[in-house]
Amino acid sequence: MSILVFAELADGVVKKTSLEAVYYGAKVAEMLGGTNTVIAIGNASETELAKLGNYGATKVLHAGDSKLESANIMAYSEVLTAAAKSTGATVIITAKSSLADAVTARTAGALKAGVVGNVTELPKLDNGFSVTRSIFTGKAFAETTINTDIKVLALKKNAITPVTSDSAAPVEAFQADVNDTAFGAKITETLKATGTVPLPEADLVVSGGRGMKGPENWQPLLDLAEALGATTACSKPVSDLDWRPHHEHVGQTGVKVSPNLYIACGISGAIQHLAGVNSSKVIVVINTDPEAPFFKAADYGIVGDVFDVLPKLTAAVKAG
Amino acid sequence: MKILVCISSVPDTTAKIGFTDNDTAFDSNGVTYIIGPYDDYALARAVELKEQSGGTVTVLNVGTASSDPQIRKALAIGADDAIRVNAEPTDSYFVAEQIAHIAKDAGYDLIMMGRETTDYNSGVVHGIVGELLGIPSLSPVMELTIDGDKANISREIEGGKEKIEATLPLVLGCQEPIAEWKIASMRGIMSARKKPLNVVEPVGETLTSISSYSLPPAKGACKMIPAEEAEKLIELLRTEAKVI
Ligand SMILES: Cc1cc2nc3c(=O)[nH]c(=O)nc-3n(C[C@H](O)[C@H](O)[C@H](O)COP(=O)(O)OP(=O)(O)OC[C@H]3O[C@@H](n4cnc5c(N)ncnc54)[C@H](O)[C@@H]3O)c2cc1C
């Protein structure tokens, strides 16, 4: 059996969610008895890629052609498909992301492979090949059997916690003929916030709602986030009002997060907001209204004014 | 411009999720169905493009007769006609295959849909359709303007967005803020009744199957910390929850 994992690169570094996918691939390879090949597309050093051995890669294929420097959905899916064919992969694993979701979809289409997204556990093999996936935006799970020879799985963040070793993986160059038409859709500009972990990958998130009362009041929230090393987020009205950038909006129609810690400041906890955050491991809610629905979904709650509570929390983090 | 908008019919976002038949089927008892929230954005932008520069908007749903109210709503919002592929939308590949089959020789300039459905959240139908038709697919698209046969798109990426130039035809998985949601007017609702809704039979096959459903374990009670002792929270997060 041959497993193939798509490792996504960001500025030459393998993304954390992809490291989880590589480790997940190693576990599946163990279950099925096979190899765990990783394909990395774009710019990265051989040292960075060899480190994927720590996460259980048996071999890393590197498609480093300069044409592949920018993350083009069509070109990347052609490379992933070519790698799947050349390695004879029967299980292809990706980690959910804005790029990987689109690439996964086209690859599954090209290979006519059954595809399952938001996978939360290792597969079960007792009756064919089935996986548990999160559905209804985290409100339920479905045990799904994939009936094709090639199976494509997109993992949800935090589905597995990697245990690393110190083995390195051999890195081989991978050449795929990418059709010129794939480059027809051209990326002309990338606008990206720098400095913090992107929201979908963040382990710690501090989020603000309309209770923060205005964009000029965000400093106490930013201070707590900085002290914790957390990424900031917001509710939909906050981004609709342009208090915060759109990419911070979490919820059903925004980014879905599954961090270890989600701190909600002045957010009521409407069902559409919860839909994006309910897979967080621990939820903290700070709200003046003891009846705010968010307290029902929370692990820890403080009934209080965010402007009194946040500085106290920041001071406690710094003191610790 | 000829636009195909694919819509899903999904439980209302506030619906209570439960299962029946020994957890093998979704319990639709008392559940209201709506057009998928992301699909609604795609539809709204398609109608705006038609209003700006002419053309037609056809709405497509893979579903049973129970989706007809959502299809009529899409017609009321501004689509010109509709196609329903008469089948339970059981699997992403299956749905994509129906869309690709209908679009194959029909000459659509744009095939628009939501980035994902809010029931199964797979977010892969757009890409499979693009691959099956051999044309580019882009998602999640948050801005779209058309100039002749050129599309200017901005796509959400982690922590930002990227701008893309592409040539039609394209498949797009859409999300906000691509357009403002549209509400059907009384005139729209009246005229929707007379617009054609063609029902066709499915092709192709399902590649995956669901054997059972489950709900997450019930949440324990929330531990309340008095605001005056807020700093205790940090200690609990360190020692009890062990998340910082
Ligand atoms: C189809 C659909 C999709 C949607 N998708 C999303 C989505 O993806 N994400 C999302 O967030 N919403 C979404 N919404 C909107 C959602 O229903 C809520 O309107 C929204 O989440 C409310 O945001 P909020 O909690 O910031 O604001 P509010 O509901 O106004 O709540 C503000 C809260 O702050 C508290 N507060 C006020 N002052 C203070 C203070 N000084 N200190 C502490 N607390 C204070 C208040 O008690 C209140 O609970 C969607 C809605 C629909 C219909």
Chain B: give the shortest CA distance to residue A283, in Å. Answer: 9
Which fold would CATH assign to domain A199-319?
Answer: Rossmann fold (3.40.50)
- Residue B230 included in any domain: no
Indicate if ligand 1 lies below 6 Å from the C-beta of A293: no
pLDDT digits (tens, 9 = 90+) for A212-237: 999 999 999 999 999 999 999 999 99
pLDDT of residue B181: 87
Phi-psi region of A53 (alpha: psi -120 to 50; beta: other; left: phi over 0): alpha
A279 annotated ligand-binding residue: no
Nearest CA in chain B to A280: B243
- Residue B235 included in any domain: no
Report which ligand 1 atom has the smallest distance to the Cα of A268. 49
pLDDT of residue A1: 82
Average pLDDT over all residues of chain A: 96
Indicate if ligand 1 lies below 6 Å from the C-beta of A37: no
Domain boundaries, chain A: 2-183, 199-319
Question: CATH code for A2-183?
Answer: 3.40.50.620
A39 annotated ligand-binding residue: no
If you compute the radius of gyration of chain B from its CA atoms, what whole number of angstroms results? 21
pLDDT of residue B221: 92
Instruction: Decide if A184 and B136 are in contact by the 8 Å CB cutoff.
Output: yes
Give the E-state strand segments of B67-187 in sequence order. Answer: 81-86, 110-114, 137-147, 150-157, 160-167, 170-174
Reading the block at residue A152, the tokens are 């494509």
For the segment A168-183, the average pLDDT, to the nearest whole number, is: 93
pLDDT digits (tens, 9 = 90+) for B32-53: 999 999 999 999 999 999 999 9
Name the burial class of residue B241, with classes exposed (0-12), middle (13-18) and buried (19+) by CB atoms within 10 angstroms of its CB.
middle
Q: Which of A107, A144, A272 sits opposite B13 (nearest CB)?
A: A272
- Residue B229 included in any domain: no
HSE-CB of B203 using CA atoms within 13 angstroms: 8
pLDDT of residue A253: 85
Report the candidate in B69, B80, B73, B70 with the shortest Cα–Cα distance to residue B47: B80
- Residue B228 included in any domain: no
CB A52 within 8 A of CB A39: no
A298 annotated ligand-binding residue: no
CB A306 within 8 A of CB A286: yes
- Domain span at residue B53 reads 2-217
Indicate if ligand 1 lies below 6 Å from the C-beta of A278: no
CATH number of the domain encompassing residue B19 = 3.40.50.620
Give the whole-angstrom CA distance, residue A70 versus residue A178: 14
Give the whole-angstrom CA distance, residue A76 versus residue A82: 10
pLDDT of residue A320: 81
pLDDT-derived band at B218 (thresholds 50, 70, 90) equals: confident
Share of chain B above pLDDT 70, in %: 100
Rounded to the nearest whole angstrom, what is the distance from the C-alpha of residue A80 to the centroid of ligand 1? Answer: 40
pTM: 0.93
Indicate if ligand 1 lies below 6 Å from the C-beta of A220: no
Q: Is the pLDDT of residue A195 over 80?
A: no
Instruction: Decide if A112 and B123 are in contact by the 8 Å CB cutoff.
Output: no
Mutate to test the pocket of ligand 1, among A217, A221, A263, A287 (most ligand atoms within 8 A of CB): A287
Asked if omega into B216 is within 30° of 0 (cis), the reply is: no
pLDDT of residue A193: 78
A3 annotated ligand-binding residue: no
Q: Which residue has the tokens 């700093």?
A: B231
Residues from chain A that touch B238, judged by Cβ atoms under 8 A, are 320
- Residue B68 included in any domain: yes
Name the burial class of residue A70, with classes exposed (0-12), middle (13-18) and buried (19+) by CB atoms within 10 angstroms of its CB.
middle
Chain A: give the shortest CA distance to residue B102, in Å. Answer: 16
User: Number of structural domains, chain B?
Assistant: 1
Share of chain B above pLDDT 90, in %: 95
- Residue B241 included in any domain: no
At A82, the amino acid letter reads: A
